[in-house]
Amino acid sequence: MKVLALDHWVLTVQNIERSLEFYGGVLGMEIRSFGENRIALHVGNQKINLYEVGSEIAPHASRAFPGSADMCFLISGELEDIKHDLERKSVELLCGIVERVGAQGPIRSLYLRDPDGNLIELSQPM
């Protein structure tokens, strides 16, 4: 067997509406409903299913809880413009633009937290 790609992952959150405001409204991710009252954030060819804590769908992670994720998203646009836009939206940034190494090579990144305290890295390939 060979794993080809990541299809989706699940993010457990305290409050789905608050998370949708952040991921959809602040970060601009596409929000889609599916199945019976389920919701997902679409990012490129992948999606993030949202589970509200206490309402997880079985089977689920053995210790699913809000605030334990550390995610890096590649963005379009200039990182400096994104930084200023986030500041205008009163989003607290954890540090300025820094250089890192992503899956495909060097990246420039900004760090922030979502409403549950998950670490979000917004990155642009160099």
- Which of 94, 84, 125 shows the shortest CA–CA distance to 107? 125
Q: Are 111 and 94 in contact (CB under 8 A)?
A: yes
Q: Is 99 a catalytic residue?
A: no
Q: Are 67 and 60 in contact (CB under 8 A)?
A: no
**Out of 21, 30, 78, 121, which one is annotated catalytic?**
121
Give CA–CA dist 35/40, Å, rounded. Answer: 10
Active site positions, annotated:
121
